[in-house]
Structure 1
Amino acid sequence: MKTIQLKAGKEKAVKQHHPWVFSGAIDHIKTNPNAGEIIKLVNSKGDFLAYGYYNDQSKITVRAIEWNEEHIVDDNWWKNKLERAINRRSDLFKSTDTDSFRLVYSEADGLPGLIVDKYADYLVVQILTVGIEARKAIIVDALNAILKPKGIYERSDASARSLEGLKASNGLLAGSEPEEFTQIKENGLTFVVNIPDGQKSGYFLDQRVTRKAIAEYCKNLDVLDCFCYAGGFTLNAKKVGAKSVISVDSSPLAIEMVKRNHQANEIGFKEEDLVRGDVNTTLRRFQQENKKFDLIILDPPKLAPNRSAVDRALRAYKDLNLQALKILEPGGLLATFSCSGGIELSMLKQAVAWAALDAGKEVQFVEQFIQPADHPVLASFPESEYLKGLLCRVL
């Protein structure tokens, strides 16, 4: 096994089980490994730190995966790692009202660059790093052996792959091809998911718990669901008896899925309540029309993909929340979210505070939200926390 030696003083993060080793921390590589090859990482004195996989095309040159020198990273290691991640979600498999959730969450499950989502009887795999790409066949075989799914589909089309020197890769890996719209269950509701062409791996599984929590406030209220995608918040709100729900998204596929999901649950809707359009433009139009709501949901896409985009993203979050606050009734509720890893909860609070000040309104923070248990946050890898949300009340 080839060895990579770190500079003196650069081993602290690895010893604390943070998996990322940047190129600037490396002192010596005797023989360059191949991309994706498992290497031994040692400190400046030559003492073992961890095993990891190598990629000289990435700023994260090594991703550590094993800190016990006696544990050999072979095919069985990968299968055991997958089994342990899946077993940690065993309670979710017992649910009678939800059949779709995350099985493997990358670094948080000790498998940097691998995401596996379960959609009813199908698995969707997302591969983001060279080290996982090199072991795709091992991972697919292991998932088939452990879960025996109807099919395994790859959705490796995230922009992060380009940082690893990888091209997008989508398509069937095993079993049968999913239909254009696959039916899943969430919180006792039926949803159709477009696995081949939908956003992320087909659906936003990370808002499952929050959708149910926000719905508890929606009974008899006029609700506005912005960036609605497949209508997760919309349908959960209607299930508990919201007076009305207007759903807004710029994607024609999203609006089509919202329609299908109303039909799948035999819940009525008005065509004019499904608005295909830019959210910011729509919020401003509602202001001009003097339209008011009791509860508004803002669940925008990632606005800060990296630290350099934080300032620009905060301005965007502030403006988005400002426009929403302007059309909230007194006593109304605003559920606002950020899925940007670079935006901390305190930053989101600040953006809302700025928005409230400009709107001339006093706002309370009523509840705080993070990603659910199937998207765990690893203590040694705080970067695994990305989803945060606030429920705010206008006084």
Structure 2
Amino acid sequence: MTQTIALQINNQFAGPLKKGYPLISKEAVDVRKLPQEEGALLRITDIHNRFIGTGYYGIQNKGIGWILTPDANEEIDIAFFVKKIKKAIQNREAFFNNGNTTAFRVFNGEGDGIGGLTIDFFDGYYLVSWYSAGIYSFKEAVYEALTETVNYKAVYEKKRFDSKGQYMEQDDFVMGTPGEFPIIVKENGMNYAVNLNDGAMTGIFLDQREVRLTIRERYSQHKSMLNTFSYTGAFSVAAALGGAMKTTSVDVAKRSVAKTIEQFSVNNIDYEAQDIKVMDVFQYFKYAQRHHLKFDLVVLDPPSFARTKQITFSTAKDYPKLLMDAIAITEKNGIIVASTNNASFGMKKFKGFIDLAFKETNTRYKIVEEFGLPKDFRVPREFPEFNYLKVVFIQKLT
């Protein structure tokens, strides 16, 4: 039986939790009263012992757990997880019925009522990601609930934590019939090769689906495209299918070449007609300027934090410099797609980075489109700060 601990919330943090804010921050509690092991249920009250909600103890980023229900009588059992997963699936009925897109998010953590847990769908295969040891302690109930709720070819999991609450990247087959990877999924008619048993990454970031479609439909025809931090080249595939004259994909990881060739190949694109470079992106910017290379479309989607032999990069402090480098090699009236998934700042601050970069380079610009998370990546309506994705299409004017 799961242990239940009574926990009082410091007064200044009680208000948001009462209004439905799901994350329990470290500053909100007396950490000395937390149990030794993650996974205990927390009966959260205010300083007057008035009930706020039942949550669980699980260390994730700046939080020590998530509220699961404001109902004092609701049990956190298999029926609870069945209810949550069924509701999430009902909310995505249109995705399940769309044969043109066979990969999407089925359950998005706090947006579907269980922080720290996500479930993705890949053409009949389900991938469950666990973000703390606390939520992972409920794995048997979650998998039983999933079995009751969906028909699956197989279920895989990724544990993105270690015993200290930091991210750990590991994947495992859980149940069903093991897949033969890569499998090919569809996204708005485009093909993407996906691996669920090959390390932390699957081969595609599902939250960028609308951005890839926009690149294909509106910004690629007869354009030259540079895709930085390109990973498996998913943006490059979209641009090539949209009629780009040529794409250049740049990533520091050597394995990105084979992965990018694979993505081009499953779409019947001649990868030899494209450029795929293993290179530090900042070094590539210098290379492009030396060789007077300019692009009509530049995609910037860096990791929140990266370190190479030459440089340490953090989006929170270095994004303006990244943009300045991109501006220098973007054609007049060209488009820069600036993207970040760093949840530590919002769209307003991100637009401040953009404005700073263009002012520093004495360049005029116009924001033409912007995106957050797509509909399958549900976030709590009252708390838009959980919408971590920020993508801005910027036109360089002069």
TM superposition score normalised by structure 2 = 0.89
Give the Cα separation in 2 of the matches to 1:231 and 1:165: 28
Corresponding letter in the other structure for 1:196: N
Could you say which residue in structure 2 is the equivalent of 1:128?
A: 131
Give the Cα separation in 1 of the matches to 2:249 and 2:134: 40
Within 5 Å, give how 1:1-395 maps onto structure 2.
1-26=4-29, 32=35, 35-55=38-58, 60-156=63-159, 158=160, 160-164=161-165, 169-197=170-198, 199-215=200-216, 216-270=218-272, 273-303=275-305, 313-395=315-397
Unaligned runs of 5+ in 2: 307-312
Give the Cα separation in 2 of the matches to 1:200 and 1:301: 13
Q: Secondary structure at the match of 2:17?
A: helix
Give the Cα separation in 1 of the matches to 2:233 and 2:274: 15
Q: Secondary structure at the match of 2:157?
A: strand
The Cα of 1:327 is off from its aligned counterpart by 1.0
| Farther off after superposition, 126-135 or 100-109 | 126-135
The Cα of 1:322 is off from its aligned counterpart by 1.0
Structure 1 residues 284, 28: CA separation in 2 closer, same or farther (over 3 Å shift)?
closer
Structure 1 residues 161, 111: CA separation in 2 closer, same or farther (over 3 Å shift)?
farther
Contact 2:8/2:47 (CA < 8 Å) preserved in 1? Answer: yes
Give the Cα separation in 1 of the matches to 2:277 and 2:383: 39
Corresponding letter in the other structure for 1:98: T
The Cα of 1:388 is off from its aligned counterpart by 0.4
Corresponding letter in the other structure for 1:82: I
The Cα of 1:312 is off from its aligned counterpart by 5.2
Q: Secondary structure at the match of 1:378?
A: coil
Give the Cα separation in 2 of the matches to 1:99 and 1:348: 31
- Root mean square deviation, CA, Å: 2.6
The Cα of 1:293 is off from its aligned counterpart by 1.0
Give the Cα separation in 1 of the matches to 2:50 and 2:230: 52
Corresponding letter in the other structure for 2:194: V
Q: Secondary structure at the match of 2:156?
A: strand
Contact 1:58/1:163 (CA < 8 Å) preserved in 2? Answer: no
Q: How many residues align?
A: 387
Contact 1:128/1:161 (CA < 8 Å) preserved in 2? Answer: no
Deviation string for 1:336-391 (max 9, x for gaps)? 11110113222222222222233332111111111111112213444421110111
Structure 1 residues 374, 162: CA separation in 2 closer, same or farther (over 3 Å shift)?
farther
Contact 2:24/2:66 (CA < 8 Å) preserved in 1? Answer: yes
Give the Cα separation in 1 of the matches to 2:249 and 2:35: 53
The Cα of 1:263 is off from its aligned counterpart by 1.5
Structure 1 residues 345, 322: CA separation in 2 closer, same or farther (over 3 Å shift)?
same
Structure 1 residues 332, 61: CA separation in 2 closer, same or farther (over 3 Å shift)?
closer
Deviation string for 1:303-356 (max 9, x for gaps)? 39xxxxxx9534421111111111111111111111101132222222222222
Give the Cα separation in 1 of the matches to 2:285 and 2:200: 23
Structure 1 residues 57, 261: CA separation in 2 closer, same or farther (over 3 Å shift)?
closer
Give the Cα separation in 1 of the matches to 2:44 and 2:136: 21
Deviation string for 1:172-211 (max 9, x for gaps)? 1112333342211111011111222355454200001111
TM superposition score normalised by structure 1 = 0.90
The Cα of 1:34 is off from its aligned counterpart by 5.2
Give the Cα separation in 1 of the matches to 2:297 and 2:181: 33
The Cα of 1:79 is off from its aligned counterpart by 1.2
Unaligned runs of 5+ in 1: 305-310
Structure 1 residues 318, 84: CA separation in 2 closer, same or farther (over 3 Å shift)?
same
The Cα of 1:289 is off from its aligned counterpart by 0.2
The Cα of 1:147 is off from its aligned counterpart by 1.9
Contact 1:225/1:234 (CA < 8 Å) preserved in 2? Answer: yes
Corresponding letter in the other structure for 2:112: D
Identity of aligned residues (%): 27
| Farther off after superposition, 68-77 or 264-273 | 264-273
Q: Secondary structure at the match of 1:52?
A: strand
Contact 2:225/2:246 (CA < 8 Å) preserved in 1? Answer: yes
Corresponding letter in the other structure for 2:121: K
